[in-house]
Amino acid sequence: MRWTQIYIPTLREDPAEAELISHKLLLRAGFMRKVTAGVYNYLPLMQRVLHKISNITREEMNRAGALEVTMPVLHPAEVWQASGRWDVVGKEQMRLKDRHQRDLVLGGTHEEIITTLIKGELRSYRQLPLNMYQIQVKFRDEIRPRFGLMRGREFIMKDAYSFDRDEEGLKIAYQKMVDAYFRIFRRCGFDIRKVESDTGQMGGTGAHEFMVVVDTEGGENTIFYCDKCEYAANQDKATFISDQPDERENEKLPLEEVHTPDRKTIEEVTDFLKLPAERLVKTLLYRADDQIVAALIRGDRQINEIKLKNESGCLELEMADAPTVQSITGSEVGFAGPCDLKRVKFFLDEEVSKMANFVTGANKTDYHYKNVNAGRDFRVDHITDLKLAEGGERCPHCEKGSLKTDRGIEVGNTFMLGTKYSEALKAYFVDADGKDKPFVMGSYGVGITRTAQAVAERFNDKYGIIWPKSIAPFGIVITPTNYQDEKLKEIADQIHGELEKKGLEVILDDRDERAGVKFNDADLIGFPLRVTVGERGLAKGQVEVKVRRTGEVTSMDLDPAADKIAEIYDRID
């Protein structure tokens, strides 16, 4: 391929629209252009990268026995209504109406479509297990599309769906996908981490996410992992062993109202009362659909809203606004407490359930209560874990190690769905015993476009992107320092031809540009290997090869340069 025959609009300056390094680099290096929020054109270099990631994914899916299909992007609303997710997915779903005013959906995932596809047709247990996948565009009306391809409204995903007779079968199917995911992401150059995750609106019995660890803002997720055992979970899911002593047998002291003028925050109240934050219990009021719920957690903890949402079983959870808090508590914001609080359901964190004689707001402006006790002073509706995990806490798995944190980009995930969709959509097969049973399902996603950008976020330096060989847009760039020079042109053309004959993906920079510009562009784009054909080298009958990742330079005689270049290319990653 010749540079002048491909479209690579590189930019000299960082585009203002980009925050992340990968986003800047992909724009500057001419891989993509924004159309509107969360929607991009993928230019020729990006298209090549996406093909490679897709092909690696395809190979590993096929190797795991999954079958490629293509399902529609356009879905009738009815399948989503039938599964019950029309309401659950809510605003994230891209919806439109056809000319007859019928509701349609631009698919953001395909559990409904695939379950409907096999329903009624795949009838015998003998046809199981089955796993089908596609690599296709998805639409999601994300609240905050950002970071380029990391969180788009239109993006490419590989999604696979497994169907089994029973839980045993699902476990096997799930493990095959997990193994395939490790192979896919390792082939993309990542040291991938598998972490436990929440099943969220997907439902089901268990899930994992595949994370690329980065130390930049691009790592939107916090990952918790144990320094002694295999435990690893994302922030939604992570738990830890609490240091809270069990005080339930302690003597319960009489409730006492204390004047705390203008002391609203945990810090202000604890300073004023000269108590540590863990003696305080925060009462956080939320609107859970059309109900108000109160979450009670220790003053030094943060709340995990995902856990609260799951526990309350609501579709939408948001913090109650100030007027609501005022009307519920009859006081200013900052003095909410569980005693005498009417019309709300209480969710107690496990730690709070073990505490005695704690401090809470008194639902009266400028007052708190001391010596509050659950059960005696207020009704307990639910006891559960509501805490956000924190680094340094004790591992919930081995109970010995301490939790560490990292930032991660979620590039893939796997869900054990169980029978949630097959039951909702009434998709049954006839088992060996002649009985109708719902399919036991799994679903498995890889963000193809997000993976491409995650590579750029993970592998770069001050000069540009550093693509692993497996997914680089071209493996080798040949840079003649002056293509107008007959001799340089001849040698560059010759090496180009020979490398192409070897089946390597080579791009020849035949532009009439200064050598410095060409070198900069080559580094910015991040081809794994650069062959420099320059006057000084040629005077000695040599060309120079530079490995992008390591900076290692090798000079070699012209004859047989192509063989040597291929050798070096062969041994780099």
| Interacting residues with ligand ATP (CB under 6 A) | 109, 140, 142, 151-152, 155, 157, 410-413, 445, 447, 449-450
CB nearer ligand ATP, residue 445 or residue 526: 445
Cα 390 from Cα 276, distance rounded (Å): 18
CB nearer ligand ATP, residue 107 or residue 334: 107
Query: CB of 384: closest distance to ligand ATP in angstroms?
Result: 22
Comparing every residue's Cβ against ligand ATP, the nearest one is 447
Question: Is 427 exposed, middle or buried (CB count within 10 Å of its CB: 0-12, 13-18, 19+)?
Answer: buried
Query: CB of 308: closest distance to ligand ATP in angstroms?
Result: 18
CB nearer ligand ATP, residue 209 or residue 351: 209
Element (H, E) at 326: helix 322-329
Query: CB of 163: closest distance to ligand ATP in angstroms?
Result: 18
Cα 456 from Cα 24, distance rounded (Å): 10
Query: CB of 572: closest distance to ligand ATP in angstroms?
Result: 27
Cα 451 from Cα 436, distance rounded (Å): 40
CB nearer ligand ATP, residue 109 or residue 116: 109
CB nearer ligand ATP, residue 129 or residue 445: 445
Cα 86 from Cα 93, distance rounded (Å): 8
Query: CB of 7: closest distance to ligand ATP in angstroms?
Result: 24
Query: CB of 454: closest distance to ligand ATP in angstroms?
Result: 8
Q: Residue 426 is encoded by which pair of tokens?
A: 């009434």
Query: CB of 370: closest distance to ligand ATP in angstroms?
Result: 42
Cα 151 from Cα 157, distance rounded (Å): 12
Q: Residues 130, 121: contact at Cβ < 8 Å?
A: no
According to DSSP, the residues that pair with 212 across neighbouring strands are 409
CB nearer ligand ATP, residue 155 or residue 286: 155
Cα 571 from Cα 419, distance rounded (Å): 47
Q: Which residues contact 10 (CB under 8 A, 6 or more apart)?
A: 28, 29, 30, 521, 524, 525
Identify the three-state secondary structure at position 409: strand
Cα 145 from Cα 427, distance rounded (Å): 35
Identify the three-state secondary structure at position 347: strand
CB nearer ligand ATP, residue 331 or residue 449: 449
Residue type, 533: V
Quote the distance between the C-alpha of residue 353 and its chain's center: 34
Phi, psi of 274 (to 5 degrees): 55, 50
Query: CB of 304: closest distance to ligand ATP in angstroms?
Result: 15
CB nearer ligand ATP, residue 370 or residue 450: 450
CB nearer ligand ATP, residue 152 or residue 537: 152
Query: CB of 411: closest distance to ligand ATP in angstroms?
Result: 5
Q: Residue 194 is encoded by which pair of tokens?
A: 């598998």
